[in-house]
Amino acid sequence: MATGPESWGLEVADPGQGPAGVLAAAHSLEHGLRLCYEGLAGRGGDEAVAGLFVKLAKIERAHEKRLEEMYASLTPAEQAQASLRDAEPARMEGGYSLREFLESQAEVLE
């Protein structure tokens, strides 16, 4: 069940941003989730669960690549409005920072 205010994580989205800003925000969310899955896979434990996290990380990387392709299709003027690398706050889908999520799940993940 989702918790927190409806505005949680919306700081990555600016209503007035153009396509490059939207793609940069989306890329940062995929990137943050990939980092989370990679971190969870690296914790060891059950081999099947670790393998699942590796698979999920690969899926997120595929999402990142697709967003990078979409960004590359923008005009230079559109790309000048935002960089994919500028929006890497390591926020995950749902608005959590990677640290916030791992701290909130510490008991579950141990």
pLDDT at 108 over 70: no
Partners of 97 in beta bridges:
91
Task: Note the pTM of the prediction, 2 decimals.
Answer: 0.76
pLDDT at 6 over 70: no
Instruction: Round to the nearest angstrom and report the end-to-end CA distance of the chain.
Output: 21
Q: Sign of the C-alpha dihedral, residues 94, 97, 100, 102? A: positive
Q: Assign 97 to helix, strand or coil.
A: strand
Please report, rounded to a whole number, the percentage of residues in the chain having pLDDT higher than 70: 68
Asked if residues 71 and 79 have their Cβ atoms less than 8 Å apart, the reply is yes
Give 45 or 11, the one with higher predicted confidence: 45
pLDDT of residue 103: 73
Asked if residues 92 and 30 have their Cβ atoms less than 8 Å apart, the reply is no
Which two tokens mark 18?
Answer: 């153009």
